[in-house]
Structure 1
Amino acid sequence: MELYYSFSILIVLAAIFSYINVRFLKFPSTIGIMVIALVMSIILVLLGNLTSKPLNDFASLIKEFDFTEILMGSMLNFLLFAGAIHINLSDLKEQRIPVIVFATIGVIISTIFVGVSLYYITNYFFPLVNIHLAIPLIYCLLFGALISPTDPIAVLSILNQVKVSKSLETKIAGESLLNDGVAVVLFAILANLAANPVVVETGHMDLSFSHIFDLFVKEAIGGLILGGALGYLAAYGFKTSRDYKVSVLITLAVVMGGYLIASYLHTSAPLAMVGAGLIIGEAKRKSVSSEKNYVGNFWELIDEVMNAILFLFMGFELLLIQDLLNYWSIGLSAIIIVLIARYVSIKIPILIIPFKEKFNKGTVAMLVWGGLRGGVSIALALSIPESNYKEAIIATTYVVVLFSILVQGMTVGKLAKKI
């Protein structure tokens, strides 16, 4: 019952904040909700300096929710399915090569660039300016893995309100939907290494290619195959039932039941939802029956509600990070590193791989600046094994995500107009 009350409070706050944003701020909905939640968090922190009760009461409410479990275990599946169902599969096929390259090679390049750069800055540059925040290489690479994938939820919510070319929109959206699988595999490998004290102390990492390849195939490819199978099964159900209520229930069964199956098979549930959403979305577009509109409208509503709750969460996560100001130096450094890494991870594949479509400066700029980070990065950071470096990584992740959503998210529309 306490969980019901807590969730009810979040829904009420999301509704109030959404109204305030639409009525007065007029920001993009997700950004507006997050801004208001951030302001409220800051007010609670200031009140906490006078009396700890308001801060402690609300912080304890937020702590009741396991953000990592809520996002990675449930909300992400709904949001990815809702995003994928609205992407045209034929458009994605046309852009499949750049999407796959950026979602795989790009993430690997970014992870290595961010990890190595952060390691040298914290271990060699910071001591020169009397800042002592040295972080081992394995944890720097771990941060690189969790911060490199663009967040599909943040990206899709912004793209809905930014007018860009169809091909560019497909590249950005498609990459953000697929790169989570690669990032999760890299993160899982590095997290296991970080949990091994021998690796942390000696710096020696014994990485077997066959083990990594098997893990990637099972996690990423297996997830997409499962999603495709569920998608075709659901499409058959649509075609034979021809009832919008049954169709909506089938999509809910795909998301919720698909997560259980993916967990049992140890494959990527997020990628399974992407695969299922793409297949179902294509079947919905080809259908001539009226239930396709009901299914689309239902998932638009689900998308809007869960996005509101997610960005509300992200705003209130400030309450759970102690001494955030102590990490301003590494946070600002990470913002610069991540942006450069994003550019490098886009530019190197463009120079090496002969894509059919040429990428001009405007397209590269949009791919770099439109690659937003969001709740997925925060959830992964919170799931890092306990260590002396976890708090620094969480705080750094939060700073990068805030910059990404508030600064990049608020200006990507202006950049699109200039291009």
Structure 2
Amino acid sequence: MEEDRLFIVFLAVAVVVLLARGLAGRLRVPDAIVLVLLGLAAGFVPALPAVVVPPEVVLLGFLPPLLYHAAFFTAPREARDDAVPIFALAFGLTTVTTVAVAATLHVLVPDVGWTAALAFGAAVSPTDPVAATAVMQRLGAPPRMVTILEGESLINDGAALTIFGLAVEALGTDFTVAHGAARVAQIVLGGVAYGLVVGIVVRRIRRWIGDPVSQIIVSLVTPYVAFIPADRFGASGVLATVVAGFSIGTHGEGFLQPASRLAGTTFWRILTFLLESALFVLLGLEIREIVRAPGGRTWGTVVAVALAVSAVAIGVRLLWQLGNGPLARLVPGGRRSRADLGPRERLVIGLGGMRGAISLAIALSLPVGLGNERGLLVLLAALVVLVTLVGQAPLLPLLLLRLGLIEPERRRTESMLARKAGLQAALARLDELAEEEDVDEQTAEAFRQMLELRLERVRYFLDREGGEGRRPPDSGRVRSELVRAQRARLQVLYRKGRIGAETLREIGRELDFEDPVAVRRPPS
């Protein structure tokens, strides 16, 4: 029965999620690497049913929230400062990679027409920064490289999906250059304009909502409100979703309550992880039949084509990164944006261009009318994702160490300096309130002691070891032990009936924020 099939698929997704989280933590590798391996392996489990995912389910069910999440959490100032390298990668490199991959595929597999080859090239051209940035942030790489990779990935999704949409349109209709230019204008301008409107309307709505649950519901509906109408009226649903997410994310701090921000951040991290996990599992279940007869070709041919396409995608990116320095200086603002971005940084950014869930989502949305060629292209996209993730991600730590790009203490010192400035500002404001008699002296003194205690701890971190901001040995263990002691005491009070369950949960949530173990392992 269909209900049984759905239950088994949901169960498979849950098992893969749990295994991926556990294995990634033990192996200290990005979740995406384990997910792609387990997802593909799931397709070979006999008890799991074969699945054919309708393209519209992927387009409407997976892409909008994934794109919205990436846009919402973009750092606006950093992205603006590095606009030239980001746009050069997002538009220039995406277009060049699409054409190069399409040409390679057309030469190696002539039966795949140029239009289908371009659609496939657009599917594997956008990068997924999750694995690369996870490695970089864990090791303490310069934040500018992380910003460029994240900004590029946000914009190149729109560029790739625009090319993909045009190629899919051309599969069934006569397509002229004039028609193509008109459609590009309609897709881009319409998507951006509608996305701005959605962003403005949703921001105004959310200003009047204080309930965290209602805020989450609105945020979950927003990407679909941006994507579906724009797509139905011939504009780019992708650009509309990205623009709406970026607009709301960059103006959201002023009208969201702290509880809404905390709950929303946790919700979206979990949701995107589940969606990406489901994509990998669904891909594995779908390619089971393809693996038996991959488009009527031998496995040797398929693997050779996948390796050739992967080599072209990786090689074009490295050549672009290492060779576009002189060209970037000719662009207004290019010379300034290239400052401090030397050959070492460009090499790491070039190697950090891995493919992931977005490429799988685009490939799975190829029209069913392609027949056997669709199965071949989906399988090739999966292999390209596998090659780039498993092949490139393990090299990043070695390359960062070899090139001397690790700054392990920079982020901690930056955080402590920010905390110090914030606490000093709070103390100054408290003194003003006391002088204006807006607060009584006893209350002011209580808050003053609390703030000074926190400030003293921050100064201790900054002053230790010559101001390098290193954490004192075992300080995390001591804090964790103190939190554990408080939890144990709460449990005793609860068992004796001195406090209720609601109080137990409330104080337990506060202790979660103090526990260094919990802080080091946020949901992702």
TM range (shorter): 0.7 to 0.9
Compared CA separation, residues 264 and 32, structure 1 to 2 (3 A): same
Residues 220-299 of structure 1 aligned to structure 2 (within 5 Å): 220-287=188-255, 289-290=257-258, 291-299=260-268
Greater relative CO, 1 or 2 (CA 8 Å, sep 6+): 1
- 1:346–1:25: structure 2 CA closer, same or farther, 3 Å change rule? closer
Hey, what does 1:376 align to over in structure 2?
358
Q: Does 1:357 align with 2:356?
A: no
Greater Cα shift, 285-294 or 360-369: 285-294
Aligned AA (2:31): S
Equivalent position to 1:113, from 78, 91, 100:
100
Which residue type is aligned with residue 362 of structure 1? R
Question: Greater shift after overlay, 170-179 or 294-303?
Answer: 294-303
- 8 Å contact kept, 1:142–1:190: yes
Q: CA deviation at 1:31?
A: 2.1
Q: How does 1:269-348 map to 2 (within 5 A)?
A: 269-287=237-255, 289-290=257-258, 291-322=260-291, 323=293, 325-326=299-300, 327-347=302-322
Distance of aligned partners of 1:223 and 1:417 in 2 relative to their CA distance in 1, 3 Å threshold: farther
The alignment partner of 2:35 has SS state of helix
Shift of 1:278: 1.6
Number of residue equivalences: 385
Contact 1:80 1:152 in 2 (8 A): no
CA-to-aligned-CA distance 1:111-136 (integer Å, 9 cap, x gap): 2222334444x27xxxxxxxxx6655
CA offsets, 1:161-200, max 9 Å, x none? 564322221211111111122222222333344456xx9x
Matching residue's letter, 1:375 = A
Query: CA offset at residue 101 of structure 1?
Result: 2.4
Contact 2:129/2:352, CA 8 A, preserved across alignment: no
2:80 counterpart residue number: 93
Amino acid paired to 1:369: L
Q: Does structure 1 retain, via aligned residues, the 8 Å contact 2:82–2:337?
A: no
Secondary structure of the equivalent of 1:259? Answer: helix
1:2-401 to structure 2, matched below 5 A, reads 2=3, 4-18=6-20, 20-21=22-23, 24-42=26-44, 44=45, 54=46, 58-60=48-50, 62-63=51-52, 65-66=53-54, 68-120=55-107, 122=108, 135-151=112-128, 163-195=140-172, 207-208=176-177, 210-287=178-255, 289-290=257-258, 291-322=260-291, 323=293, 325-326=299-300, 327-347=302-322, 349-354=324-329, 355=334, 356-358=336-338, 359-382=341-364, 383-384=366-367, 385-386=369-370, 389-401=373-385
The Cα shift of 1:315 comes to 4.1
Conserved in 2, the CA contact under 8 Å of 1:366 and 1:412?
A: yes
Give the conservation status (yes or no) of the 8 Å contact 1:163–1:413: no
How far 1:251 sits from its partner (Å)?
Answer: 0.9
C-alpha distance 158-239 of structure 1, shift in aligned 2 (>3 A): farther
Percentage identity across paired residues of the two chains: 19
- Distance, in Å, in 1 between the alignment partners of 2:337 and 2:312 is 28
Task: Normalising by structure 2, report the TM-score.
Answer: 0.65
Aligned to 1:203: none
Residue deviations 1:245-276, cap 9 Å, x none? 33222212212322332233222222222222
- CA contact 1:226–1:272 (8 Å) conserved in 2: yes
What TM-score, normalized to structure 1? 0.80
CA contact (8 A) 1:182 1:220 kept: no
One-letter identity of the residue aligned with 2:275: M
CA 1:4–1:58: 2 relative to 1, 3 Å: closer
3-state SS in 1 of match to 2:252: helix
1:58 partner SS: coil
Contact 1:153 1:307 in 2 (8 A): no
Paired residues of 1:30 and 1:311 also in contact (CA < 8 A): no
Unaligned runs of 5+ in 1: 45-53, 124-132, 200-205
SS in structure 2 of the partner of residue 380 of structure 1:
helix
CA gap 1:351/1:142 in 2 versus in 1, 3 angstroms: farther
Shift, 1:232, TM fit: 2.4
Say if 1:333 and 1:288 are closer, same or farther in 2 by CA, change over 3 A.
Answer: closer
Task: State the superposition RMSD in angstroms.
Answer: 3.0
What displacement does 1:81 show? 1.5
Residues 19 and 168 from structure 1, CA distance in 2 versus in 1: closer, same or farther, beyond 3 angstroms?
A: closer
Distance in 1 (CA, whole Å) between partners of 2:6 and 2:40 is 24
- 2:141 alignment partner, SS class: coil
Q: Secondary structure in 2 aligned to 1:27?
A: coil
